[in-house]
Amino acid sequence: MKIVLISLVMALSMAAPAIGKEQTPNEVIESAAKLFAEQLEGREEELAADRQALYALIDEILLPRFDRRFAAQIVLAKHWRTASEKQQERFIEAFYQALLRKYADGVLEFEQDKVVVLPFRGDLTKKRSKVKSTVQLNDGSKVAVDYELVKRDSGWLLFNVVIEGVSYVRNFRAELDAEIRGSSLDAVIQRLEGEAGMIADE
């Protein structure tokens, strides 16, 4: 399970279009992996001891490059359509912040040289795209990690990660659907806000 968490955070944190010319989906992943490695270099102990600095580093890289609204909409599925605008906005922020904190430790184990982005096989004229990669683990084995991106005016943005065929969006959708059915959307939002250390806006 730890491997999956580490890989997920790494994947989320690497989704980064460059400022300037538009990048292809593969260039988004490759250039951002380099950026992320540069930001981590020599700071592992410092960031491990300073959680707020670690969260800030991840947020700086991830926030402008991750389609939080689209990911949240997919995760909530039919519950999104019945949610109020305030509930939607609270869920977007709470879900993102909870994810950031839940997977932050894995970021410190990111090693750029263990990531191999495979040649792009998709269609750039379509709205969505997938970048395939492999991540080498410490035991020498390799894990397939796919990045799903959506085209926006600002460029390609990440919205889903699939690790060894397991989609984080589909996993969270099933998990939260059951929780919402058993309680309520407000209860789920409050739980996520609590995990993220947020103060709900009542």
Mean pLDDT of 180-192: 97
Close Cβ partners of 146 (under 8 Å, ≥ 6 residues apart) = 130, 131, 132, 133, 161, 162, 163
Six token digits for residue 82: 């019945």
Identify which of 21-30, 32-41, 131-140 has the greatest average pLDDT: 131-140
pLDDT tens track for 104-120: 777 777 777 788 889 88
| Other beta carbons less than 10 A from residue 175's beta carbon | 12
Identify which of 1-15, 26-40, 43-57, 180-194 has the greatest average pLDDT: 180-194
Which own/partner pairs from 123-128 qualify as long-range (CB within 8 Å, at least 24 positions apart)? 124/24, 124/25, 126/151, 127/151
Residue 21 confidence (pLDDT) above 60: yes
User: Phi/psi at 147 (nearest 5 deg)?
Assistant: -110, 125
Which has the higher per-residue pLDDT, 61 or 180?
Answer: 180
CA distance 144 to 109: 17
Q: How far is CA 8 from the centre of its chain?
A: 7
Q: Which domains, from first to last, does the chain contain?
A: 2-195 (3.10.450.710)
Q: Where are the beta strands (DSSP E) in 52-127?
A: 115-117
pTM for the model stands at: 0.80
Which has the higher per-residue pLDDT, 132 or 114?
Answer: 132
Terminal CA-CA length for the chain:
36
C-alpha angle 107-115-56 in degrees, rounded to nearest 5: 25
Six token digits for residue 116: 């191999």
CA proximity to 73, closest of 153, 191, 175, 173: 173
Q: Where are the beta strands (DSSP E) in the chain?
A: 115-117, 128-136, 142-152, 155-163, 166-167
Which region among 66-70, 95-99, 138-142, 170-174 has the lowest average model confidence (pLDDT)?
Answer: 138-142
Residue 8 confidence (pLDDT) above 70: no
Which has the higher per-residue pLDDT, 100 or 15?
Answer: 100
Identify which of 85-89, 105-109, 191-195 has the greatest average pLDDT: 85-89
CA proximity to 133, closest of 110, 152, 101: 110
3-state helix, strand, coil in the chain (%, to 5): 55, 15, 25
Mean pLDDT of 62-76: 89
Average pLDDT, the chain: 83
Mean pLDDT of 133-153: 87
